[in-house]
Amino acid sequence: MSKQYCAYLRKSRADRDAELRGEEETLARHKRILTELSEKMQKPISKFYFEVVSGETISDRPVMQELLADVESDMWAGVFVVEVERLARGNTKDQGIVADAFKYSNTVIITPIKTYDPSNEFDEEYFEFGLFMSRREYKTINRRLQRGRIASVKEGNFIGGSAPYGYKKVKLSKGYTLEPIPEQAAVVRQIFEWYCYGEQQPDGSIKRLGTDAIAAKLDLLGIQPPIKDKWSKATIQDMLKNLTYTGKVFFGQYKETKTTINGNISKKRVYNPDYTIAIGKHPAIIDEELFNLAKQKRKELQKCTTPSSLALQNPLSGLVYCQKCGSLMTRLGPNNRNKYAALKCPNRYCDNVSSPLYLVESQVLQYLRDWLHAYKLNGKIVDFAPVNNEIELKRNLIPKIDHDISLLTSQLNRAYDLLEQEVYTIDIFKERQATIKSSISTLENQRKAAENDLIQLQKLMDTQNNFAPKVKHLLDSYNSNDVETNNRILKELIDHISYEKNERNTRGKLENCNFSLHIYPRISS
């Protein structure tokens, strides 16, 4: 059965802008163009890959990853695309991945302008040059957009996607601004006043309200929040930090930084002190004095709640998560009602029941004792023969694959010589070249798989060798260690724990461990 053809469709930023101006939906238009082209060439399209998310790199585009996997598995004879730039606009590494996938699978790329044959060196160079130029174009467009946004902010326009609570977005002849919604603006002012000045009590005293208390009070008053059904602490915190309420507009308050971890790119948003800020065209809801007072209150609260001298009191800190809502469980210290510290879910809308911290701690330690006992009974501490044997097999396999690749490369070079000597015709040479390249590609994939297997097997070996001694050390020294040391060692042994409890302990049954724990150790299986 002959191989079939597919098509890859993806929107660019320019396409999305054109749609906003009322032009035809991009993917539908591209599908029509490629379908007509395939019918004209008598190469029907068997599958369409639709990329609906926007991403600069391959790792951000799941459909592109699926397409490349299918191309590498030699599924398609060719891929239809409106232009080669749709395939990769990422960095040089991403462009190389795309180019190699099509080259080693001999998959052609068909566009309305040109068909690229990866086995043709001129087409290959043209294709790679097209990817390089698309990257340059992407960077140029991105810089132009950034400059446009900065210029718009300096003119006083609002460039955010949606208006903050208290405002509605209004279109101008050029750009957008904001217009206050009177009833919501009153709520914003009330939030700032509660946070800065507190609320007067029936006895005449003033009670300061934190973000949690403000959220609860707004829910009690039946005031609809901007997004969800209930007000949250995070929403209140974001509002108290939002300069838009003072009549200002800004851009670039946070910037994205990239770092490489184990060969993968990790992205992180960090505060940018040099961001662009200007007086907006919209009226302020909060004056500068009140906004700065809220800022000062936040700083004071941070200083009060996070003293550097406070010793850690929760050995399970950062480990236990609520099974019901996903929140990180926190320690509630002893009080007049309970003489013991408890582990509780901080989400006030979650019905997960708290438990004495020492009970949860004892169950975690018992889990480790049971694990170590079973590990010794099975003899796994000393018997690693199956893993060792597999590691040895993988280590021996890689040099053999390298030797076979070297032989095939020599054969390919001889084929070029025979072509130049006119022993091979062009047709015979192309057939021979395709066969050898296919064999080399298969061996390279086998080598890559063997290397990955070897890495995973070695990790398993190391983990198994190191995990059991760490467990034994923790259990032997747990009572003599301080809380911080126990917490650090527990984090080395356990990735995370999920906790669930549905019924409160009745009188006289405090020691009843009527909760469930799912413990995820840091050991490969």
Note the pLDDT tens digit of each residue in 35-62: 999 999 999 999 999 887 766 677 778 8
Residue 386 has pLDDT above 60, yes or no: no
Contacts of 496 (CB under 8 A, 6+ apart): 319, 320, 321, 520
Predicted local confidence at residue 77, as pLDDT: 92
Question: How many angstroms from the chain centroid is the CA of residue 172?
Answer: 36
Give the pairing of strands 4-10 and 76-80.
Answer: parallel
H or E segment to which residue 405 belongs: helix 385-420
Query: Does the pTM of the predicted model rise above 0.85?
Result: no
Give the mean model confidence (pLDDT) for residues 315-340.
Answer: 86
Give the mean model confidence (pLDDT) for residues 471-492.
Answer: 83
Greatest Cα pair distance, the chain, in angstroms, is 106
Return the number of other C-beta atoms located less than 10 Å from residue 195's C-beta: 24
Give the mean model confidence (pLDDT) for residues 183-187.
Answer: 93
Distance, CA of 45 to CA of 35 (rounded, Å) = 7
pLDDT per position as a tens digit, 142-177: 677 778 888 888 999 998 888 999 999 999 988 899
Please name each of the domains of the chain with its CATH number.
4-147 (3.40.50.1390), 167-305 (3.90.1750.20), 311-387+450-525 (no CATH)
With bands split at pLDDT 50, 70 and 90, how would you rate the model's confidence at 265?
A: low
Report which DSSP code applies to 46. Answer: E
Predicted local confidence at residue 388, as pLDDT: 63
Residue 308 has pLDDT above 50, yes or no: no
286-300, 377-391, 445-459: range with lowest mean pLDDT: 377-391
Contacts of 387 (CB under 8 A, 6+ apart): 457, 460, 461, 464
pLDDT per position as a tens digit, 138-149: 666 667 777 888
More confident of the two residues 454 and 502? 502
Closest CA to 491 of 480, 483, 499: 483
